[in-house]
Amino acid sequence: MSKEFTHLDAAGNPSMVDVGGKAITRRSATARSIVVLDDEILLHFGDADIRTKKGPVFQTAVLAGVMAAKRTGELIPLCHPLGLENCQLNIYLNEKKEAVVECTANLTGKTGVEMEALTGASIAALTIYDMCKAFSHNIVIKETRLIEKTGGKQDFKLTV
């Protein structure tokens, strides 16, 4: 059985997926972005966060990520506008001194929240870039990916 693009109609034109007949289920998705910060930036970090002239980096990125997740339907053309029931972001430095952004979005509805989690993680990563670029432009957002999703047709969990 070959899969087809869900956002194309029979003529190949972009089309929003009709979720009217789908069952309402609990949906959850977690996405992760990894931001590589150079040594010049890391010098300014204490145990967890850094303050710049724009404010605390990780705290501001958390707020930006939540705001972005809530507006995903306005940013991605064929995404359904969703009323998220919860959105949580966690940002920390890993053992490689990379900033790890994890965003989990939840709702009870007819469509998944993968794009909301991915958007939240992405915008939080971009906010870290924006707030740290005064120290160095040698910043890499090296990865944004879905880590886990539940609800809907099938569950997914990254196995690495």
Which of the residues 38, 47, 130, 155 is marked catalytic? 130
Residue 153 has pLDDT above 80, yes or no: yes
How is the chain split into domains, by residue range?
25-152
130 catalytic? Reply is yes
Output the average pLDDT for the chain: 91
What is residue 11's predicted lDDT score, i.e. its pLDDT? 85
Q: Using CA atoms, how far apart are residues 20 and 25, in angstroms rounded to an integer?
A: 13
Residue 28 has pLDDT above 90, yes or no: yes
Confidence of residue 42 (pLDDT cuts 50, 70, 90): confident
- 25-152 CATH, one of 3.30.70.270, 1.10.3470.10, 3.30.70.640, 3.40.640.10: 3.30.70.640
Q: Is the dihedral of CA 80, 81, 85, 90 positive or negative?
A: positive
Q: Using CA atoms, how far apart are residues 22 and 144, in angstroms rounded to an integer?
A: 28
